[in-house]
Amino acid sequence: MADMKGTQLIHEYLRHNKKFPHVFCAGCGHGIVLGSLIRSIHGLGLSKDEVCVVAGIGCSGRLAAYVDFNTVHTTHGRALTFATGIKMAKPNMHVIVVMGDGDSMAIGGNHLIHAARRNIGVTALILNNNIYGMTGGQCSPTTPSGAFTMTSPMGQMEQSFDCVELMTAAKANYVARGSVFHVKKLDKMIMEGISNPGFGVVEIMTPCHTQYGRKNKFKTPVDMFKNIKDTVISIERYNQLSEEEQASRIPSGVFVQKDTPSLEEKFYQMAASCQGGA
Amino acid sequence: MSVKSKGNSTVTIFPDWCKGCGICAAFCPGKVMELNDQGKAVVVKEEECISCGFCELHCPDFAIMVRPKADDEIPAVCRAVLEKAARKTDMPADGSAAEKNSSDMEKG
């Protein structure tokens, strides 16, 4: 499998007994994230047995069904707790959690901040499409103020969460934000997130045309991709802009990178010292 | 990166996997692809392809393959996908195909 690339590589990692094409809508970014995840794992040289993909509920939860790794499709919001158990039992396994924005920050919000506090060696991919896509387009914690959704037809009045700031404050070891338009950067971020010790979070800006785009004047999936191309910019460029310009842009890049020892590392050290001292 | 030269690559689209989102056609620098009247992507100007790989990286359905013209052999795994798609369309219209698909869906 060493010299494969592109579509051939991705087809090699898919489960061919599943029904293809996958269930995501036309132009959904989740398919691109799936490809990026496969390329990153292949790029790190990990075998299929060394990787466990844990997914929650929602559109992003379907991702785990299509890839030929060890996969778990878990309950809503609890993907990180399942992943914590798997990582503690098998510390050498690379556990990757795929969650949507509603799954991770609304229902699983508490699990997310506590996974970051514990610094468990899991990589979380948060697929942020600003809405609850699968259940009919309700507003989620990351829906921008003023955006139109099924449950906020006159515009969203609440403030939205910034995943990067939340995770930085909760002391995650690796925090990055990418987008499905800038795929090569995203591949690099996921690879870094997997190889970095401790809790890693990669927030991925992805479009939901069916539920979010149609209500917010994006006529086609291509318009949503153009919007992502224009609004998601690197942190260096973001810092040079004035405050008014910053309001409509989203910074992307690596925000935090630390080497704090992870929970399972500390646990196995303690277990060894207890056994040695007895 | 190597110098981009035109006309050295072949673009293959698996029509059964394409959902017609139009990302490949909209962002292709050489305007190699277009959407046909069924809303699916088709290759119209293959000689303009500079093999940048944008369409291959950004196709959410893994339906596009760009490869050098020199390798005329389609990789085995992708050939299996094409053959499976061809078999599906040739299936008898007695409902057995529909049953198979629904049971696949349940398995998830």
Report pLDDT digits (tens) over A164-202.
999 999 999 999 999 999 999 999 999 999 999 999 999
Residue A205 host element (H or E): strand A200-205
Which residues fall within 8 angstroms of residue A216, CB to CB, at 6 or more apart? A147, A148
Residue A76 has pLDDT above 60, yes or no: yes
Contact predicate A197/A205, CB 8 Å:
no
Q: What is the mean pLDDT of chain A?
A: 92
pLDDT at A209: 93
pLDDT of amino acid A44:
94
Cis peptide before A21 (omega within 30 of 0): yes
Asked if B105's CB is within 8 angstroms of A8's CB, the reply is no
Asked if A21 and B104 come within 8 Å (Cβ–Cβ), the reply is no
For an interface test with A, the pick among B77, B78, B84, B88 (most A C-beta atoms closer than 10 Å) comes out as: B77
CA angle, A127 as apex, A212 and B14 as ends, to 5°?
Answer: 80
Name the 3-class secondary structure at B63.
Answer: coil
* B61 neighbourhood in chain A, CB within 8 Å: 21-22, 31
Q: How confident is the model at residue B3 (pLDDT cuts 50, 70, 90)?
A: low
Helix (H) or strand (E) holding A99: strand A94-100
Q: Could you say which DSSP state residue A213 is in?
A: I
- What is the rounded average pLDDT of the residues A68-76? 94
Q: Report yes or no: B4 at the A interface, CB cutoff 8 Å.
A: no
CA distance B26 to chain A (A): 7
Return the closest-CA partner of residue A115 out of A57, A198, A54, A37. Answer: A198
Mean pLDDT, range A42-68, rounded to an integer: 93
Phi/psi of residue B22, nearest 5 degrees:
85, 10
Nearest CB partner across the interface for A22, out of B53, B61, B84: B61
Q: What is the pLDDT of residues B40-96, one digit of tens each?
A: 999 999 899 998 989 999 999 999 999 888 776 777 777 777 676 666 655 444 444
Q: Residues near A268 by Cβ (< 8 Å), separated by ≥ 6?
A: A91
* Closest-CA distance of chain B to residue A116, Å: 30
**Residue A17: burial class (beta carbons within 10 Å; 0-12, 13-18, 19+):** exposed
**What is the sign, positive or negative, of the torsion defined by CA atoms of A126, A131, A137, A139?**
positive
Q: Convert the pLDDT of each residue in A116-174 to its tens digit.
A: 999 999 999 999 999 999 999 999 999 999 999 999 999 999 999 999 999 999 999 99
Mean pLDDT along residues A73-100: 94
Taking CA atoms, what residue in A is nearest to B39?
A: A26
Contact B17, B81 (CB under 8 A): yes
- For residue A158, the number of C-alpha atoms closer than 13 Å in the C-beta half-sphere is 11
- Residues A71 and A56: beta-carbon distance below 8 Å: no
Residue of B nearest to A9 (CA): B77
Q: What's the complex ipTM?
A: 0.86
Query: Does the distance separating the beta carbons of A28 and B58 come in below 8 Å?
Result: no
Q: Is B23's CB within 8 Å of A21's CB?
A: no
Which of B23, B57, B81 is opposite residue A11, by nearest beta carbon? Answer: B81
